Amino acid sequence: MRPREHIPARRRVAGLSLIELIVAIVLLAILGAGFMAMYANVTRHNAAGEQAAPMTWVAQGVMEYELLQTELSAAGTPATFTVQLGPYVANASFSTATTKTVSTGTYYAYLVTVTVTCASGACAPMVFTSYVYST
């Protein structure tokens, strides 16, 4: 006859206990909250960048247009104007910063300020300044 194997009263079962499972869920929730906060921050900054790029293009286009108009005009005096380009409104103002007369002619340096806003008013205005030089 074979001897009976001794079976312990309390068996050791491999696996997770309820406490270990709760701790793992809490840790995952904390990590998830951190990633969600980071995702919201990245999304907010990306939206601002997507708004700033076309506004910069509008401002650059207005500055280049005004430079061309200044070069072609007989008086050489830039104007102040407002133009709507797609969903953006650009207000441009030009003031003479300095004038230099030399033997080849008179050179002008204009301070250009372009304020670009959304036509709907849903975005913050951006202000661009630069110098435009012409003869």
Q: What's the pLDDT tens digit per position in 88-133?
A: 888 877 776 677 777 777 777 777 788 888 888 777 888 887 776 6
User: What percentage of residues in the chain have a pLDDT greater than 70?
Assistant: 70
1 band by pLDDT with thresholds 50, 70 and 90: low
In angstroms, how far is CA 135 from the centroid of its own chain? Answer: 36
In this prediction, residue 110 carries a pLDDT of 72
Average pLDDT over residues 13-28: 86
- pLDDT tier, 74 (very low <50, low <70, confident <90, very high otherwise): very low
Phi/psi class of residue 86: alpha, beta or left (left: φ > 0; alpha: ψ in -120 to 50)? left
Residue 120 has what pLDDT? 81
Please state, in angstroms and as integers, the Cα–Cα distance from residue 90 to each residue in 83, 128, 134, following that order: 5, 10, 22
User: What residue ranges do the domains of the chain occupy?
Assistant: 18-134
Give the 3-state secondary structure of residue 122: coil
**What are φ and ψ of residue 37, in 5° steps?**
-65, -40
Convert the pLDDT of each residue in 32-52 to its tens digit. 999 998 888 887 777 666 777
Q: What whole-number distance in Å separates Cα of residue 78 and Cα of residue 108?
A: 10
